[in-house]
Amino acid sequence: MESRLLRCCLAVCAFFWLPFALAAGAADDVKKFEAFKVKADLGDAASQYSVGVCYATGKGVRKDEFEAYAYWSLAATSNNRARSSLTALEADLTSSARLFGQQRAKDLQKEIEDNIVASKTKGGVAPKPGLPGKKAEPMVKGVPVKPEEAPVASPAPAVRAPEIAGQTDEQRRIFGSLYAAAQSGDSRAQYLLGTVYRFGKLGVVKDGPSSVTWFRKSAEQGEPKGQYYLGRSYFDFDGYTTGVAKDTRLAVSWWRQSAAQGDADAQEALAFCYGKGFGGLVQNEIEAYAYLILASRSNASAAGRRNEIEASLSPESLRAGMERSKELLAAVSLTRRPSTAPRSEAPTTPPAVPKPRGGI
């Protein structure tokens, strides 16, 4: 009886805390991916294979099956592992998805050729502007002061998380770390704290208004996940009070900003709205299909919907949707926030969140 109870407790702990345990390795994964990509983008086949693995698994970078396809396609000419991985991936893709991947591989090849030419002609990194060896003097109201005379800012007082009755020590530690990071202005921590309040995680009672407060703080700093969840709050498809009045047009507005930065959930949400004509959008199956192509790069449910809609579209509409998706992808590349390592000690993986009901 005791051993069964112990197994149950361990299973529950693993379910809730495994994402946070994995977060510690996230920064290392990002560094490894960035190191692989530098060499891959200069034509190194082994690194191209490794970058493809990162995109296929989502380690160190947003999961993206088309980027994996493109890097493996280039590496496959001289790397057996890339060739095998590409063959396996092709078996899982529809014919239209393979065409999109092949086009991305052609574009990537051109980018790499340009990178190689640029690295040979530049012969090094351009120096930063400014006088070498000249340090800026500290100033107070426009008057130079010696370093020892420069005023020292007082450290900001520590921010304590509110006491939550019934929290375990582990829940209290994680919640406190997340709360402090969010209060200090970390936009990702703010979005994560919003999910804690919205879904009642870490021993916190569901609190829609508080979740919206933190989603808004995150969204207004440009955090794509904060923008996505703020849009969810306005769409209100979960059926409980979120602290804001239902406004599907505002939801679409926030989802546009999030989707433009590459968030697959927001892209899938926009595809749904275009398919149904929600949020002030004119019903448009080609636009819906284009957003599903983007979302399906890293979102399994979007991939399923993409396959469904492909069966109902004419060849002309399929081609139009693929061309439109290329335009959207190009826009994403221009607006995506730069990938960075975690900015604080707050957990970098959100608590498990249920998928919304209502078709999005």
143 bridge partner residues: 140
Cα–Cα distances (Å) from 222 to 190, 230, 265, in that order, read 12, 12, 16
Question: Average pLDDT for residues 45-71, to the nearest whole number?
Answer: 84
- pLDDT of 43 reads 86
Task: Choose the most confident range, by mean pLDDT, from 99-108, 116-125, 169-178, 213-222.
Answer: 213-222
pLDDT value at 94 more than 80: no
Task: Choose the most confident range, by mean pLDDT, from 29-33, 128-132, 200-204.
Answer: 200-204
Asked if 226 and 253 count as a contact pair (C-beta separation under 8 A), the reply is: no
Question: Average pLDDT for residues 326-342, to the nearest whole number?
Answer: 67
- pLDDT of 181 reads 92
Is the pTM value of this prediction over 0.85?
Answer: no
Q: Phi, psi (5° rounding) for residue 247?
A: -155, 95
Cβ-defined contacts of 167-173 (< 8 Å, 24+): 167/202, 167/203, 167/204, 168/203, 170/17, 171/202, 171/203, 172/203
pLDDT value at 9 more than 80: no
CA–CA dist 229, 231 (Å, integer)? 5
Choice among 8-17, 97-106, 175-184, 194-203 with the minimum mean pLDDT: 8-17
Cα–Cα distances (Å) from 83 to 18, 80, 87, 277, 298, in that order, read 33, 5, 6, 42, 21
Question: Average pLDDT for residues 43-59, to the nearest whole number?
Answer: 87
Question: Average pLDDT for residues 338-358, to the nearest whole number?
Answer: 47
- pLDDT of 196 reads 93
pLDDT value at 148 more than 60: no
Residues of the chain above pLDDT 70, percent: 70
Quick one: pLDDT band at residue 25, thresholds 50, 70, 90? low
Question: Average pLDDT for residues 173-182, to the nearest whole number?
Answer: 90
Q: What is the 3-state secondary structure (H, E, C) of the chain?
A: CHHHHHHHHHHHHHHHHHHHHHHCCHHHHHHHHHHHHHHHCCCCHHHHHHHHHHHHHCCCCCCCHHHHHHHHHHHCCCCHHHHHHHHHHHHHCCHHHHHHHHHHHHHHHHHHHHHHHHHHHHCCCCCCCCCCCCCCCCEECCEECCHHHCCCCCCCCCCCCCCCCCCCHHHHHHHHHHHHHHHCCCHHHHHHHHHHHHHCCCCCCCCHHHHHHHHHHHHHCCCHHHHHHHHHHHHCCCCCCCCCCCCHHHHHHHHHHHHCCCCHHHHHHHHHHHHHCCCCCCCCHHHHHHHHHHHCCCCHHHHHHHHHHHHHCCHHHHHHHHHHHHHHHHHHHHHCCCCCCCCCCCCCCCCCCCCCCCCC
Question: Average pLDDT for residues 155-183, to the nearest whole number?
Answer: 80
Domain ranges (residues) in the chain: 24-117, 169-335
Asked if 257 and 290 count as a contact pair (C-beta separation under 8 A), the reply is: no
169-335 CATH: 1.25.40.10
Burial class (CB in 10 A: 0-12, 13-18, 19+), 34: middle
Quick one: pLDDT band at residue 340, thresholds 50, 70, 90? very low
- pLDDT of 109 reads 82
End-to-end CA distance of the chain: 43
The tens digit of pLDDT for each residue in 272-325 reads 999 999 999 999 999 999 999 999 988 888 999 999 999 999 999 999 999 999
Asked if 190 and 230 count as a contact pair (C-beta separation under 8 A), the reply is: no
Quick one: pLDDT band at residue 231, thresholds 50, 70, 90? very high
Q: At what angle do helices 208-220 and 224-235 cross, to 10 degrees?
A: 140
Cα–Cα distances (Å) from 2 to 6, 12, 28, 44, 168, in that order, read 6, 15, 39, 55, 21
Q: Name 346's Cβ contacts closer than 8 Å, sequence gap at least 6.
A: 177, 178, 180, 181, 182, 186, 188, 189, 192
Residues of the chain above pLDDT 90, percent: 32
The tens digit of pLDDT for each residue in 100-140 reads 677 778 778 888 888 887 777 765 544 343 334 444 445 44
Burial class (CB in 10 A: 0-12, 13-18, 19+), 142: exposed
CA–CA dist 82, 302 (Å, integer)? 26
